[in-house]
Copies of this chain bind each other. A is one copy, B any other.
Amino acid sequence: MTQVLPLPSAESAPEEALVIFTPSGKRGRFPVGTPVLTAARQLGVDLDSVCGGRGICSKCQVTPQFGEFPKHGVTVTEDALSGWNAVEQRYDRIRGLREGRRLGCQAKVEGDVVIDVPPESQVHRQVVRKAADDREIVMDPATHLHFVEVAEPDMHEPSGDFDRLVRALREQWEVEEATAPLSVLAKLQPALRKGNWQVTVALWRGTEGPARVLDVWPGFHEGRIYGLAIDVGSTTIAAHLTDLRNGTVKASAGVMNPQIRFGEDLMSRVSYAMMNPGGDREMTRAVRSAIDGLAKSLAEEAGIAARDIVEMVFVCNPVMHHLLLGIDPVELGQAPFALATGSSLDLEAKELGLTEVNEAARVYVLPLIAGHVGADAAAVALAERPDQSEDLSLVVDVGTNAEILLGNRTRVLACSSPTGPAFEGAQISSGQRAAPGAIERVQIDPNTKEPRFRVIGVSLWSDQPGFAEAVAGTGVTGICGSGIIEAVAEMRMAGLLDTGGLIGSAEQTGTARCEPTGRTHSYLLHDGTANDGPRISVTQGDIRAIQLAKSALYAGARLLMDEMGVDKVDRVTLAGAFGAHISPKHAMVLGMIPDVPLDHVRSAGNAAGTGARIALCSVAARREVEALVKHIHKVETAIEPRFQEHFVAANAIPHASDPFPNLREIATLPEVSFNANGGGGEGRRRRRG
């Protein structure tokens, strides 16, 4: 510890006092006059400091405890710490020091004392996520702000300003070695002089190799630094702007992936790259520009500068991953689905051509599991840690491509399944993104066959008084992913839809809402034409799209269960940007997921995004996920004949052969059949097979 700190005065040096820190319980004896921060550091107590003990940053606040502490075997008198000094008085005058608080770098030990470190003064504190689940992130970000005092240049012992900064970081922050991009070298000299040889640096530290100075500000920088956790999905790009000090999400946003114009799903984008020379580069430019736009709008929303965004973490499926990095994804379109690289990557945002962040911003890309199972699945694994589960846990990340994990402490399997974009409202006649005005919940009365629904942005059901007024602002514009799942499941439970997926006619169902549409029927959910709104129906085509999607999902899960040698799982976790909004009961009626007791189905929210945030906030988590993906066994669905069999059997609603006993207990599924030929399932199976 070569920290420049006030030393205990000479005469009191021999006298010592006991210092006990809570909540850690760490304790030690120190010479009277030792600053509390120094004692904390020597004991390895987690007490924050940006300014390195200079009384500038106020991050090292502590609460001394006075009185009898039988548990610790000490009595703390009122004079156990030195009185307020000028620095604390000034700080209190300007910013206010909370009752009972002291600055750890200023208060000196005078007698035995118990010192509590409040959560906000801990660097590695746990940050409870606001989402619906209970995982905690332990803050351990790669980039920290450090205040440093740099020696002035001496003409007779010439050395570079940066070289002296590195020396100061070594002496004041125990940073072994540091490098800097040219952008920082260009900014350093004016910053040092403006700050009177004191600067604040944003210092990035990997696990090995030299640290890297990402930015420099004159004097003590009051600002904060941020990171972006980004999930690049086939359909949506979602980003969370996160405070790197405490993990708080300052702003979140999602945009459509502009690559959609080149193809709706992954394979059509790979085809586009194969058929059009330079097509991969077009798609790379499109996604990078969308990410830049997202970064810009998030910074604007949060009122921060692009310069303050110093890190980005990406999770994406393999095709999105390759296109983001500028790698032609053609090999991912054909067996053996070889990735260019599956390892995690440490890059600069500049290498990706991203400009709406700090010019030296770092990028971390999570590792991929295989050619079909991407960094998004790795992120889900990091967020959900199936490898730490006692129960056999199935985690399904629902998206255009579903990522499926099955495992427990013993073994973890993974696969991906091409569900297509139906669950996200695409390829659905009245489908739309989950936005105000979209139908998200549906109920159909099994007797009257009349529907009621709720739309995003309105808390009333459509048959409740005041709904018309409440919805006037947005109108009822369409149906989103969770809405279509509920609608189809409710139609099945109301006897409007048979197990093969056929919609009955008005005559067969007894409701005029079942209208003929070409040679099939559709079910009218909402007629908004009186108010210039759309007519929203569930068509036979919509049912077919949902059947394809859910069959793929179920078949993937079953394939993993085969590999694991089980025919049931203990728990199901629904993840995905939209997974959080799926009703477990309706998902099970549809046969999207294996049959389990309903209370064993849980929504994990956007687990891939959560995994990205965890990796953004914790270097240790990056190393964890790198180790974890090596441990996960990959099952390739694309070439597995049993996948095809499972897929066909899963086409029925809920399933042609699997019994679903738990579901039968909580839902009635009328035995109806609307196919004139009887055995309609047969016919469909032939068409699909």
| Residues of chain A having any CB pair with chain B under 8 Å | 152-156, 158-163, 180-182, 185-186, 188-190, 209, 325-328, 330-331, 335-343, 347, 351-352, 368-371, 634, 636, 639
> Provided the pairs A158-B371, A369-B158 are in contact, do residues A189 and B340 lie with their beta carbons within 8 angstroms?
yes
Greatest chain B CB density within 10 A among A163, A190, A209, A335 is at A163
- What CA separation (Å) do A156 and B370 show in the bound complex? 9
> Provided the pairs A182-B327, A209-B209, A351-B182 are in contact, do residues A340 and B158 lie with their beta carbons within 8 angstroms?
no
> Provided the pairs A326-B186, A336-B154 are in contact, do residues A343 and B181 lie with their beta carbons within 8 angstroms?
no
Q: Given contacts A163-B342, A181-B351, could you give 12 more A-B pairs where the C-beta distance is less than 8 Å? A: A152-B336, A154-B336, A155-B335, A155-B336, A156-B634, A158-B634, A160-B338, A186-B325, A189-B328, A189-B330, A189-B331, A189-B338
Chain B hits for A152, CB < 8 A: 336
**Contact sample, A vs B, 11 pairs, CB 8 Å cutoff:** A155-B335, A155-B371, A155-B636, A158-B634, A160-B341, A161-B331, A161-B340, A162-B343, A182-B326, A185-B327, A189-B340
Chain B hits for A636, CB < 8 A: 155-156, 158
Closest to A325 in B: B182
- What CA separation (Å) do A327 and B191 show in the bound complex? 13
Docked-complex contact B343 and A161, CB < 8 angstroms = no
Chain B hits for A185, CB < 8 A: 325, 327, 340-341
- What CA separation (Å) do A159 and B337 show in the bound complex? 10
A360 to chain B, nearest CB (A): 11
Chain B hits for A331, CB < 8 A: 161, 189
- What CA separation (Å) do A423 and B639 show in the bound complex? 76
- What CA separation (Å) do A209 and B154 show in the bound complex? 32
Chain B hits for A339, CB < 8 A: 158-161
4 closest residue pairs by CB, A with B: A158-B370, A153-B338, A160-B342, A160-B341
> Provided the pairs A209-B209, A368-B160 are in contact, do residues A186 and B340 lie with their beta carbons within 8 angstroms?
yes
- What CA separation (Å) do A78 and B45 show in the bound complex? 75
- What CA separation (Å) do A190 and B338 show in the bound complex? 12
Chain B hits for A190, CB < 8 A: 328
Docked-complex contact A160 and B343, CB < 8 angstroms = yes
Closest to A156 in B: B636
Docked-complex contact A342 and B186, CB < 8 angstroms = no
Docked-complex contact A161 and B338, CB < 8 angstroms = yes
- What CA separation (Å) do A189 and B325 show in the bound complex? 14
- What CA separation (Å) do A335 and B153 show in the bound complex? 9
Docked-complex contact A327 and B639, CB < 8 angstroms = no
Docked-complex contact B342 and A158, CB < 8 angstroms = yes
A411 to chain B, nearest CB (A): 16
Chain B hits for A182, CB < 8 A: 325-327, 347, 351-352
- What CA separation (Å) do A186 and B273 show in the bound complex? 13
Chain B hits for A154, CB < 8 A: 336
Chain B hits for A370, CB < 8 A: 158
A258 to chain B, nearest CB (A): 20
Chain B hits for A368, CB < 8 A: 160
Closest to A367 in B: B160
> Provided the pairs A154-B336, A336-B153, A370-B158 are in contact, do residues A186 and B341 lie with their beta carbons within 8 angstroms?
no
Greatest chain B CB density within 10 A among A163, A335, A338 is at A338
- What CA separation (Å) do A190 and B371 show in the bound complex? 16
- What CA separation (Å) do A308 and B290 show in the bound complex? 35
- What CA separation (Å) do A331 and B326 show in the bound complex? 40
Chain B hits for A158, CB < 8 A: 336-339, 342, 369-371, 634, 636
Greatest chain B CB density within 10 A among A155, A326, A371 is at A155
- What CA separation (Å) do A328 and B153 show in the bound complex? 17
Closest to A371 in B: B158
A345 to chain B, nearest CB (A): 9
A367 to chain B, nearest CB (A): 9
A55 to chain B, nearest CB (A): 28
Closest to A332 in B: B189
A340's partner among B188, B327, B328 (CB-CB below 8 A) is B188
- What CA separation (Å) do A155 and B190 show in the bound complex? 55
Docked-complex contact A155 and B189, CB < 8 angstroms = no
- What CA separation (Å) do A357 and B368 show in the bound complex? 32
A341's partner among B155, B162, B325, B351 (CB-CB below 8 A) is B162
A167 to chain B, nearest CB (A): 11
Chain B hits for A340, CB < 8 A: 160-162, 185-186, 188-189
Chain B hits for A336, CB < 8 A: 152-155, 158
- What CA separation (Å) do A331 and B188 show in the bound complex? 11
Docked-complex contact B155 and A342, CB < 8 angstroms = no
Closest to A351 in B: B182
A161's partner among B188, B330, B335, B341 (CB-CB below 8 A) is B341
A337's partner among B155, B326, B341 (CB-CB below 8 A) is B155
A678 to chain B, nearest CB (A): 42
Chain B hits for A352, CB < 8 A: 182
Greatest chain B CB density within 10 A among A152, A159, A162, A636 is at A159
Closest to A330 in B: B189
A324 to chain B, nearest CB (A): 10
A592 to chain B, nearest CB (A): 26
- What CA separation (Å) do A369 and B185 show in the bound complex? 17
Chain B hits for A351, CB < 8 A: 181-182
- What CA separation (Å) do A158 and B162 show in the bound complex? 44
A54 to chain B, nearest CB (A): 23
Chain B hits for A335, CB < 8 A: 155
Greatest chain B CB density within 10 A among A328, A331, A340 is at A340
Docked-complex contact A155 and B639, CB < 8 angstroms = yes
A186 to chain B, nearest CB (A): 5
Chain B hits for A342, CB < 8 A: 158-160, 163
Chain B hits for A369, CB < 8 A: 158
Chain B hits for A155, CB < 8 A: 335-337, 371, 636, 639
- What CA separation (Å) do A605 and B472 show in the bound complex? 86
A625 to chain B, nearest CB (A): 16
A648 to chain B, nearest CB (A): 23
